[in-house]
Amino acid sequence: MSLKTFPDGKLLSDLEVLRRIHKALRQKKPFSLVRIGDGENIVLAQGKFLSNQKIEQTYWVQQGRRTGRKGVDLPNLNLRDRMLKGIKQADIVGICRRHNDEVAAPTRFKRELTNKIFDYYNLQPANLCYVFCNRKIVSYRYFWKLLHQYRTLLISKWADRYAQKIKGKYSCLPPQIIGTINFQHYDQIPTVLKKVGKYDFDLALISAGVNAVILAPAIAKRYKKVAIDFGKTMMYTVLPNKRLQPWTPPKSSRDGSSPTLTATSIIKS
């Protein structure tokens, strides 16, 4: 089925995404999730749907040059090709919805462009979910129980501050953060992939912009682990943003008392 005709109703639900992540963790199988939003679309469109001149004129590239926060320099066809490979290797791919999408970007850089890219490169992921699943899954206690149960590695320039923040906020269900790796730019990918091998972990959460589309499948394949493109979730936790509404422990459990973990309590509170 062409992505053009793929209905929003067939996207995996946020809860189903969590269940599949959990299944891979339980079975100790490699698993990766990547997401294709407006930034990823712009990178992937290089040389085919956007000329270098048009790339230079995009809000995304101009914003990156002003702030230095995108972690890539365009044009870069090698980056594009490595991202295409990552999409093909991923177990789940997040995409924009056809209707009622929440991505704050011009329509031409959202699902419309994803459709063209996927058709041109014959990308046919077996499993698709909503691009903002990274922001949605943290609203479930289920997610925080997974971080409590499984050894988690954080990869991001926000990793240290994020680890500190969630260790304090979720002390009643303490996350097993076994390490953090700083990531700033595409050029660091080889070094970061080597650093990952120094940690004994089950789950990697990656907030590294478009680079996560490369890193997540590479980590899953090389180390046989679960690796998730976590988007801006770390940043929106360190610098609270209304776009993110994570599950919050009940007041009764914030005083250090242990919550009861039952089959029903792992779902949304």
Whether 210 contacts 72, CB under 8 Å: yes
238 is a domain residue: yes
- Residues in the chain predicted with pLDDT less than 50, given as ranges, are 255-269
Q: Which domain holds residue 8?
A: 3-253
**Residue 262 confidence (pLDDT):** 39
pLDDT number for residue 268: 45
Q: What is the pLDDT, as a whole number, of residue 67? A: 80
State pLDDT tens for residues 153-207. 999 999 999 999 999 999 999 999 999 999 999 999 999 999 999 999 999 999 9
Residue 261 lies in a domain: no
Number of domains in the chain: 1
Q: Assess if residue 269 is contained within a domain.
A: no
Please check whether residue 20 lies inside any domain of the structure: yes
Question: What pLDDT is recorded for position 254?
Answer: 55
Residue 260, domain member (yes or no): no
* pLDDT value for 108: 96
CB 31 within 8 A of CB 126: no
**Considering the domain boundaries, does residue 262 fall inside one?**
no
SS (H, E, C) 198-231: CCCCCEEEEECHHHHHHHHHHHHHHHCCEEEECC
Q: Determine, yes or no, domain membership for 264.
A: no
The pLDDT of residue 253 is 57
Q: Are 162 and 156 in contact (CB under 8 A)?
A: yes
